[in-house]
Amino acid sequence: MTNHTLTVSAPGKLMLFGEHAVLYGKPCIVTAVDQRIRLKAKIINREIINISAPQVGIKKYTIKVSDLGKVEYPKGVKFLLKAVEIFFKKYKVGSGLDLETKSEFSSLFGFGSSSAVTVCAVKALSKLFDIEVDNKSLFDIAYQTVLSVQGVGSGFDLAAAIWGGTIFFENGGKKIEPINVNNLPIVVGYSGIKADTATLVKRVAGLHKKEREKADKIFNSIEKIVKQAKLALEDTNYFKLGELMDQNHTLLQKLAVSIPRLDSMAVSAKEAGAFGAKLSGAGGGDCMIALTPDKSVRKVKKAIKNAGGVVLNVKFNAEGVKITYDKSKNES
C-alpha cells in the first residue's frame, strides 16, 4: 500500500475589472492575492473520507466513499466533496482520504475560498492518484464542480487560483491570458458586509431580462474598459487605470450592485489621493480596491477606515496552485 501525504496551496483572488459583464460573454481581469488556502490530503486504508475544515465550522466530518454523490454534503465542504466525487468518477479511481483545509484569509472577504479549495482538491487528487492533469483540464474539472454546486459562475476565480498572476479572462475559460504586470499599487478595503454573489448575479440577470438594451449597453461599455485596462496595465499607466476604475464603478452602480458603504469607501479613497477606485467582485459588500500612488497610501487607508471599511494588507500577482509538501512512502 502507498502511504502518500501531500499539501497543496492555492491563492485567493480579487477582480480588477469586468465583474458581471463577464457572465455575458465579455472579458474581465482578475489578479491572484498572496493569501492562500492549504489542503493537506492523504490516502487512507479505509473506505471513508474524513474532513477537517475548522474555519468553515467543520471540525470533523466523515462520509463513506460509496456515499459520494448520494447524500447532501454539509455547507462548508460542498465544493471539496463535489470535486472529489467528480474526480473519482471522471478518472475511475477511488479511495479513502483524510482531508484538512486551512485558510490564511476569512471566507467573508470574497477572496474566493471555495474556488481555491476546489482547485487544491483536484490538484491534490491528480498527484495522489498519479494522473497527469494539465492546467486547462484542472480548470475544466474545477469549473464543472463549481457549476454543479452553485449553478452559475464565470470561473475567473478558478483561473486565478490555478495560473496565479494577473489574467485576462473570458467566461468558462474561453480565454485565459496572463497579463504582464509589474506592480499593482492597490489598497484593498473590506466593507465589513458579506456579499451574496448569487443574489447579485440574479439581480443583474433580472435587469438584463427586463431592460435588455440598457444592460447590453452597460456590458459593452465594460468590455471597452476591460480592454483598455489591459493595455494600461501593460504600460503601467496608472492615471489611465484609475480613470477606468472609476468608470467601471459607475457602470456597476448602473447595474445596481453597489451599496452606499462601497460607494463612500471609493469616494473617500479618491478624495484622499487615489488614482481611481471601484468595488471588486459581485458588489453588495465584500471589498473595494483603490489604485493609489505611494505618497497617498497612508491617507487613502485612513479615508477607507473613516468610511467604515477595514484595510486588508494583500499583495497581488501571487503564484498559482502549487504542491508545497509531498511525501510518498511505499510499504509492503
CB of 297 to ligand PMV, least distance (A): 24
The reply to whether 15 sits near ligand PMV by the rule CB under 6 A is yes
Least Cβ distance, residue 196 to ligand PMV (angstroms): 9
Which of 12, 27, 110, 276 is close enough to bind ligand PMV by CB under 6 A? 110
Task: Give the count of residues interacting with ligand PMV (CB under 6 A).
Answer: 17
Q: Cell triple for residue 166?
A: 494577473
User: Based on CB atoms, which residue is closest to ligand PMV, 219 or 238?
Assistant: 219
- Residue 109 makes contact with ligand PMV by CB under 6 A: no
Is residue 20 at the binding interface for ligand PMV, with CB under 6 A as the rule?
A: yes
CA atoms within 13 A on the CB side of 53: 27
Helix (H) or strand (E) holding 7: strand 2-17
Q: What is the dihedral of CA 112, 117, 118, 121, to 10 degrees?
A: 160
- For ligand PMV, the binding residue among 16, 19, 82, 168 (CB under 6 A) is 19
Asked if 175 contacts 169 with a C-beta cutoff of 8 angstroms, the reply is: yes
Min separation Cβ 298 and ligand PMV, Å:
27
98 a catalytic residue: no
- Do residues 132 and 126 lie in contact, with contact meaning Cβ atoms separated by under 8 Å? yes
Here the cell at position 250 is 459607475
**Binding track over 119-158 against ligand PMV, x by CB under 6 A:** ----------------------------------xx-xx-
Chosen residue from 22, 122, 181, 262 binding ligand PMV by CB under 6 A: 22
**Could you give the CA distance from residue 18 to residue 132 in angstroms, rounded to a whole number?**
33
User: What's the rounded Cα separation, in Å, for the pair 117 and 137?
Assistant: 16
Q: Minimum distance between the CB of residue 285 and ligand PMV, rounded to whole angstroms? A: 9
284: its cell numbers: 453588495
Looking at residues 27 to 66 of the shown chain, list those that interact with ligand PMV (rule: CB under 6 A): none
Of the residues 34, 98, 134, 157, which is catalytic? 157
Residues in 180-209 that interact with ligand PMV by CB under 6 A: 195, 197, 201
Q: Give the nearer residue to ligand PMV in terms of CB position, either 152 or 323.
A: 152
Residue 12 binds ligand PMV, judged by CB under 6 A: no
Instruction: Say which amino acid occupies 266.
Output: A
- Residue closer to ligand PMV by CB (options 156, 275) is 156
Distance from the Cα of residue 18 to its chain's centroid: 14
Q: Which stretch binds ligand PMV (CB under 6 A): 12-20, 94-102, 205-213, 225-233?
A: 12-20
Contacts of 307 (CB under 8 A, 6+ apart): 189, 261, 264, 265, 267, 268, 269
- The verdict on 282 binding ligand PMV (CB under 6 A) reads yes
Contact indicator for 293, 185 with CB cutoff of 8 Å: yes
Measure the CA–CA gap between 295 and 159, rounded to whole angstroms. 33
Q: Which of 323, 8, 16, 58 is nearest to 169 (CA)?
A: 16
The residues that touch ligand PMV, with contacts defined as CB under 6 A, are 15, 19-20, 22-23, 110, 112, 153-154, 156-157, 195, 197, 201, 281-282, 286
Just list the catalytic residues.
157
